[in-house]
Each structure stands twice: as C-alpha cells, then as structure tokens.
Amino acid sequence: MNRAVSSLLTRHAARLGSFCTSSSSSSPASEAWDGRFRLHKPRGQHLLTNPRILDAIVRHAALRPGDAVLEVGPGTGNLTARLLASPVHHVTAVEIDTRMVEAVTARAAALDLVQKLTVIQDDAVEADFPEFDACVANIPYGISSPLIAKLLFGAYRFRTATLLLQKEFAQRLVAVPGDSEYNRLAANVRMVADVKLLMDVSKRDFVPMPRVDSSLVEIRPRAAMPDVDLAEWLAFTQECFGQKNKTLGAIFKQKRKVLDLFKRSQRTERRTGDASGNGIILGVIDDSSDVACSGDDGSSDRVAGFSEEQVGAFKERIASALESTDLAGKRPSKMSNDELLSLLKLFNERGIRFQ
Ligand code: SAH
C-alpha cells in the first residue's frame, strides 16, 4: 500500500470510519452529505449525490478489467466508491483539499478497497499523473480548459476520458463548424480527439446545488495523431479564432497582426518537441477568455533591424498565400479543421510561422 495513503488511514480511519458505514442504501456507500465540514464553492465543491447518475457515469465510461483509472477531484468519494467497486485494476485520485483526501481515503477503507486506491494530494493542473487507461471524473468546473488541454496535449496516452462538465462548456466542446458556439476549444480538441455528449445532468443532483446544469462528455483521443506541429497549430488557431467571425482576408491584413507574424517568422530559434510543455499549452486551447484584437492600433510598423520594405514584402506574402486558395473570404467559425490545416501548411511552406 502507498505509504502516504496508509499513514492517512491510520490517522483518520477511526475518526471518519463511520462516514459511509451508516448507509442503509444498496449503493457501494452513502452519497448523502452529512455536513461534517464546509464545502467551498470557489473550489468547485459540488458533490454529485444522485446514485442513478453516478451509476450511469460509470456505465458510460465502459471500463475494462485491468484498467488504470484516473479521477480528478474525488471529493468525498461518491464516484470513487463505484470506480473501486468495478473490476478495474487501480484508481488514482488527484485531490487538492486535505479534508477530501481524508474523506475519500476513509471511505475506500470502509469499503475494504483501499488497496485499489492511490490518492495524490495536489492541484490536478500541476500534478504529474501516473499512466492511466481511462479518466473518469466529476471535475471542478473551473479547471475544465487547462485539464482537457493537459490530458490531450500533454504526454499522456489513454483510451478515453468521461468527464462531467458545465453544460455550456460541454456544448462549446462538441460544437461543429457553423454552430454559433463553434470556437477554438472545439477546433483544437477535435484535432486530436473525438468528442461525444453522453447525457445532461441537472444541477439538482448536486449538493450544494450549483447555479449551472452539467453534461457528461466522452473524449476519445484519436488513434492516429494528425501530421502537424501541435504547438504551431495551437498558435495558429489562437490567431484565427481571436476574431472568429471576421474573414481570414480581414484577419491577416491587420497591420499589428502582420508585424507580429513577421517577428515570429524571423525568429531563428523555434520551439520544437511534442508540445507537451504545459507552459506552452495550458490555457491556450480555449478562446473563452480572449480579448479580441481590435485591428490596426496605429503602432509602429517598424521591426528593429528590418526595413519597411521587408515587412511590406512579408505582408504581400501572406496575401498571396491566401489568394492562392479560395479561403480568403471564409470565416474561421465556419471552417473545418482540414481547411484550417491546409492553410496553416501553406503559410508554413511560405515561411509564415505562428509560434
Ligand atoms: N467528484 C466528487 C466531487 C466533485 S467536487 C463528486 O462528484 O461528488 C470537485 C472536487 O475537486 C472537490 O473535492 C475539490 O476539492 C476538488 N478540486 C478543486 N480544485 C482542484 C484541483 N485544482 N485539483 C484537484 N482537485 C480539485
């Protein structure tokens, strides 16, 4: 048994042992919140207490015997108890709050399943995850974007993630080109994974009741990763979706954008690798918090060491690349990833770089 878990058990099992043993329900352990400690809304501490929904999540996750499962934010263990009771090999739960770490550990002990559980007390955005086959979680909604970015653009290889998310976020995630919600998050996630809405979950199924409803989503990483430098792709979609309803022709004509791309394209040092550095990726896949570029801002069109003619020639290069396709009049919000990718490849072939 993991030493940290075992010491937690010794210290807290007696005190918290009754947490789930008093249950009279037929579920693996009680979901009822006994008010033992205060739940912190800013930490997304809304416990899912409807046993029917909890069972459905585990069913949808289609776990296999022998799976290593990752859970983010186990809370008091309502979902964890079911994951542990399934035939999976092991569950690793990453939880930031000591009180929850203690509660979920005691609950697993009371179910006599603690040998199947490792609890990592850490921020799930920062922590290193062990290898896992499936991620199943009712996560704190505040970390949805960075967590999905970490799962999909980090170094992890897994079969499936079944995540309960805020309903509006889930709808943005599964949106397709042309939908009003279509956005950078959806384009980026679709680049590397298939996503599917599995079911909606009412806010009434949580304690305390949040303001928003939820949806369960399945994210399946593609078996074959696209032939593209992912960091370059993410930087490109950031430029396109910052003003997703403008035409590409209008977006890439702006003086500030041209200058910015000129500088980036001149850089001899390129970021290389598999885009797994969290610093580059986290928070970059989603445009929900972007401030749209307001277009020409009158800033100087000089770049140290380069003449205005060189910048002008670069602007021409962008325009002619766009003209050579029929994409200049298209808006990113209505474009497929194949179209966006073909444009990125053309730009790159012509020395126009985004990161
Ligand atoms: N999955 C449980 C609890 C959901 S509440 C259930 O369905 O009942 C969300 C949980 O995530 C809380 O326990 C909260 O403490 C934890 N949490 C919040 N921010 C976190 C972070 N950055 N990393 C890991 N856990 C976090």
Ligand 1 center–CA 334 separation, angstroms:
35
Ligand 1 center–CA 336 separation, angstroms:
35
Give, using CA atoms, the residue closest to atom 3 of ligand 1. 75
Q: Is 70 exceeded by the pLDDT of residue 273? A: no
Q: Which tens digits make up the pLDDT trace of 30-68?
A: 566 667 778 888 899 999 999 999 999 999 999 999 999
Ligand 1 center–CA 98 separation, angstroms:
11
Ligand 1 center–CA 106 separation, angstroms:
16
Q: Which tens digits make up the pLDDT trace of 225-241?
A: 888 999 899 999 999 99
In ligand 1, the atom with minimum distance to the C-alpha of 143 is 22
Pairing of strands 160-166, 214-221: antiparallel
pLDDT at site 282:
52
pLDDT class of 306 with cuts at 50, 70, 90: confident
Q: Which tens digits make up the pLDDT trace of 197-215?
A: 999 999 999 999 999 999 9
* Average pLDDT of span 255-274: 72
Nearest to 339 by CA among 250, 268, 248, 269: 248
pLDDT at site 12:
33
Give, using CA atoms, the residue closest to atom 6 of ligand 1. 47
pLDDT at site 302:
63
Ligand 1 shell residues, CB under 6 Å: 43-48, 72-75, 78-79, 94-97, 100, 123-125, 138, 140, 143
* Average pLDDT of span 157-161: 97
Task: Identify which has the larger pLDDT, 302 or 167.
Answer: 167
Q: Which tens digits make up the pLDDT trace of 70-81?
A: 999 999 999 999
pLDDT at site 1:
39
In ligand 1, the atom with minimum distance to the C-alpha of 142 is 19
Question: CA separation (Å) from 287 to 85, 98, 146, 178, 240?
Answer: 39, 32, 12, 16, 10
Ligand 1 center–CA 43 separation, angstroms:
7
In ligand 1, the atom with minimum distance to the C-alpha of 124 is 23
Ligand 1 center–CA 222 separation, angstroms:
27
Task: Identify which has the larger pLDDT, 89 or 293.
Answer: 89
pLDDT at site 310:
87
Please state at what angle helix 337-349 crosses helix 230-241, rounded to 10 degrees: 110
Residue with tokens 């939908």: 179
Q: Which of 40, 97, 125 to mutate to test the pocket of ligand 1 (most atoms within 8 A of CB)?
A: 97
Ligand 1 center–CA 1 separation, angstroms:
23
Nearest to 329 by CA among 341, 317, 348, 343: 343
Other residues' Cβ atoms within 10 Å of the Cβ of residue 32: 15
In ligand 1, the atom with minimum distance to the C-alpha of 49 is 8
